[in-house]
Homo-oligomer: A and B are copies of this chain.
Amino acid sequence: MKRDHVLATAERLFYEEGFFGTGVDRVIAEAGVARMTLYKHFKSKDNLVLAVLDRRADAYWAQLEQAVSQARENGHSACRALVAAHGDWLLGEGRHGCLFLKALGEYAAQEPAVTQRVVAEKKRLCDRMEVLLTEEGHAHAPALAVQLMLLLEGATALVPVMEAKGVVTQLRAAASQLLEVRSG
């Protein structure tokens, strides 16, 4: 299907050059499809943007949940696995920061659907973290989940402007420290 090819191309361009900075002409040129092909699958650019966010979230969560499953099979901490998987994601696909926050920054004042989608995405991650923390017997799981979110989002934000490997290293170190103190 051309649909996913357009989607993949749009995701890459939006991520590298911004949403407003990437015109529809650019997307179809790089995807090598006709303009009407794009508008057949997505009724507007806003619609395409939302579809791109969904695609990105799917890939991210697939990587995260696989790491969590694997940790469970090996009897390792799922929380640590999640943090580590986020770090891996950043090194592999996160060079330009968080696509969701990027979308929020450009569309917040103009497209409520984007705001809603981004808020839901971050809540999902925070909730997931909280569940894992609770399962592993941490006290104050909600507060600790927010603290770990700070580290994850901080790393995502800094990867574009600092040395990526160093950022991820310190992400793991700091998360370890926050997890140590309160765990049994």
Contacts and interface: CB of A to CB of B under 8 A. Distances in A.
Contact of A154 (B21, B96, B106, B154): B154
B20 A18 contact: yes
A152 B161 CA distance: 14
Interface stretch (A3-11, A46-54, A55-63, A162-170): A162-170
Contacts of A123: 161-162
A64 interface: no
A168 B118 CA distance: 20
Of the four ranges (under 10, 10 to 19, 20 to 34, 35 or more), the interface on chain A belongs to 35 or more
Interface stretch (A35-43, A65-73, A130-138, A174-182): A174-182
A157 B109 CA distance: 17
B161 A157 contact: no
Interface of A: 16-18, 20-21, 96-98, 101-102, 104-110, 118-119, 122-123, 126, 143, 146-147, 149-158, 160-162, 166-167, 170-171, 173-174, 177-178, 181
B21 A162 contact: no
A104 B153 contact: no
A21 B110 contact: yes
A167 B146 contact: yes
A162 B145 CA distance: 13
Nearest to A152: B154
A105 B96 contact: yes
Contacts of A178: 174, 177-178
Contact of A160 (B18, B104, B170, B181): B104
Given A106-B20, A106-B21, A98 B157 contact: yes
B147 A158 contact: no
